[in-house]
Amino acid sequence: MKRQEAINTIMETISSQDVVISTTGLISREIFEKFDSERNIYVPGSMGLASSIGLGLAMVQPTMRIVVIDGDASLLMNLGSIVTIGNKKPTNLLHIVLDNEAYASCSEERSMSDTAYLDKLAHNVGYQYVRAVRCQEDLKRAIMEFRQGPGFILTKIELGGRRDFRRPLELAAIKNRFMLFLKRSTKGGLTS
Amino acid sequence: MNQTNKSVFNVLDDKRSEKADQLHKVFRELGVNFASGVPCGVLRHIIKNFDNDVAVLHVIANRESEAVGIAAGAYLGGKVPVVYMQNSGLFSASNDIASLLVPYKMPIFFVVSYRGCEGEDAVQHLTTGQATEHLLKSFGLPFVVFEDQKLETLIRLMFATMREAELPTFLLLKRGWHR
């Protein structure tokens, strides 16, 4: 499965009401270019924090489903985050890791995810739903079968693919439209 | 440098701090209902108050960067978060503050313990101690070193400035601040 195929499958399978938090580099840039929406938050800097942002959001908006689209090197950079997620157990958080075993957004230098068994780690720290997939069909099924999280879908992808995507630049505007989307989706009522 | 470990700072005490209680009260009046951070002894009274208040959702993080991310998520979800950490951790999290909170214009309030000041007994804090204010100045971020100003007035003013500027804002607390 290519990155492009994994991203297409995720974005076409999740509900239009789901929030998407995507990690640094090509993953965010591809989603921004092809699937930009008010329900998206891109994490262009602060590599590694997508899952932490997803956790904070999932804890304070328990009626929304939060989908984090992470990368293997990005997850490894903030690995403690899965311990916190496994401990807090937000049932509405689905953490999808696109794993090409590399820093693909840099120059495809190898990461260490091939020896990390990220799905086993996620299971051990308390994720309630863990799947490992290698093809679009299985990825789609894993997303559709997700009921109660925290969920973790380790998605093996190939290196390569387009690199010339635009960058999300107007971050404050992206934040403002996101917060309006959330307000509308939760009927203006803040959950506490 | 203090050569013994018998300084007042190396003792655990459970006594309440009137100043920490005042700080918590003004936080609550300003809408604070979420906290994340990495513990520091200098901040223990503040952390305990977050823990003991059911109206504040409190998530301890493994590293300071993670706390920045968790608080950013809570902020996006409509909460009013406070992040706490030691200034040593401020350096670890500095890029996350600069590349996430600043461009996204997230006005998040930080309480940072200020080690490495005059009288410091631990060498590992000296380099970051002398660089802390320079770091925040070079980022162009608002900060105040607490020197026994009237807490309520100070915090209200800092929140007003923070919300106007839409920038993360920092309160630096030195050892013994709570007495």
What CATH number is associated with residue A152? 3.40.50.970
* 3-class state of residue B33 by DSSP: coil
Contact in structure between A26 and A104 (CB atoms under 8 Å)? yes
CB contact under 8 A, B95 and A45: yes
CB of A180 less than 8 A from some CB of B: no
CA gyration radius, chain A: 15
Percentage of chain A with pLDDT > 90? 96
Q: Which domains does chain B have, with CATH numbers?
A: 14-174 (3.40.50.970)
Residues in chain A closer than 8 A to B95 (CB atoms)? 45-46
Q: How far is CA A83 from CA A128, A146, B63, B112, in A?
A: 13, 20, 12, 24
Segment A117-175, tens digit of pLDDT? 999 999 999 999 999 999 999 999 999 999 999 999 999 999 999 999 999 999 999 99
What single-letter amino acid sits at B58? H
> Can you tell me the ipTM of this complex?
0.96
Domain assignment present for A113 = yes
Of B49, B55, B46, B128, residue with least CA distance to B87: B128
Residue B19: pLDDT band (50, 70, 90) is very high
Q: Please determine, for residue B15, whether its predicted confidence score (pLDDT) is greater than 90.
A: no
Q: Which residue of B has its CA nearest to A59?
A: B74
Share of chain A above pLDDT 70, in %: 97
Range of the domain at A161: 3-185
Secondary structure (3-state) at B143: strand
Express each pLDDT in A172-191 by its tens digit: 999 999 999 999 999 755 54
Q: What is the pTM of this model?
A: 0.96
Let me know if residue A149 belongs to a domain: yes
Alpha-carbon span A140 to A31, nearest angstrom: 17
* Low-confidence winner among A164-178, B4-18, B25-39, B46-60 (lowest mean pLDDT): B4-18
Query: Average pLDDT in the B112-135 region?
Result: 96
Beta bridge partners of B169: B109
Inside any domain, residue A190? no
What is residue B7's predicted lDDT score, i.e. its pLDDT?
66
Amino acid at B89: G
Residue of A nearest to B94 (CA): A46
- Chain B contact for A167 (CB, 8 A cutoff): no
Does residue A192 lie within any of the structural domains? no
Compute the C-alpha angle B29/B30/B31, nearest 5°.
90
pLDDT recorded at residue B174? 98
Share of chain B above pLDDT 70, in %: 95
Q: How far is CA A189 from CA A57, A64, A108, B70, B108, in A?
A: 15, 12, 44, 21, 21
Strand, coil or helix: A177: helix
What does the DSSP 8-state code read for residue A46?
S
Query: How high is the pLDDT of residue A178?
Result: 98
A107: Cβ–Cβ under 8 A, 6 or more apart, which residues? Answer: none
Residue A25 in this model has a pLDDT that exceeds 50: yes
Distance CA A47, CA A49 (A): 6
What's the number of domains chain A is made of? 1
Quick one: pLDDT at residue B9? 72
Q: Which residues of B fall within a CB distance of 8 Å from A46?
A: 65, 68-69, 95-96, 99-100
The answer to whether residue A98 sits within a structural domain is yes
For B177, the token pair is: 């601040």
A96 within domain boundaries: yes
Taking the C-alpha atoms of residue A134 and residue A145, their distance in angstroms, rounded to an integer, is 16
Q: Pick B63's closest partner by Cβ from A41, A80, A178.
A: A80
Query: Which positions in chain A touch B70 (Cβ < 8 Å)?
Result: 52-53, 55-56, 84
Which residue do the tokens 């399978």 mark?
Answer: A13
Contact check, Cβ <8 Å, B95/A46: yes
Q: Can you give the pLDDT at residue B1?
A: 47
Is the CB of A80 inside 8 Å of chain B's CB atoms? yes
Q: Is residue A60 part of a domain?
A: yes
- Using only C-alpha atoms, chain B has a radius of gyration, in whole angstroms, of 15
- Measured between alpha carbons, how far is residue A19 from residues A15, A63, A68, A149 in Å? 9, 11, 8, 15
pLDDT band at B11 (very low <50, low <70, confident <90, very high): confident
For residue A175, list chain B residues with Cβ-Cβ distance below 8 A: 76, 104-106
Structure tokens, A57: 């959001």
Does residue A54 lie within any of the structural domains?
A: yes
- The alpha carbon of residue A155 is apart from the nearest alpha carbon of chain B, in Å, by 23
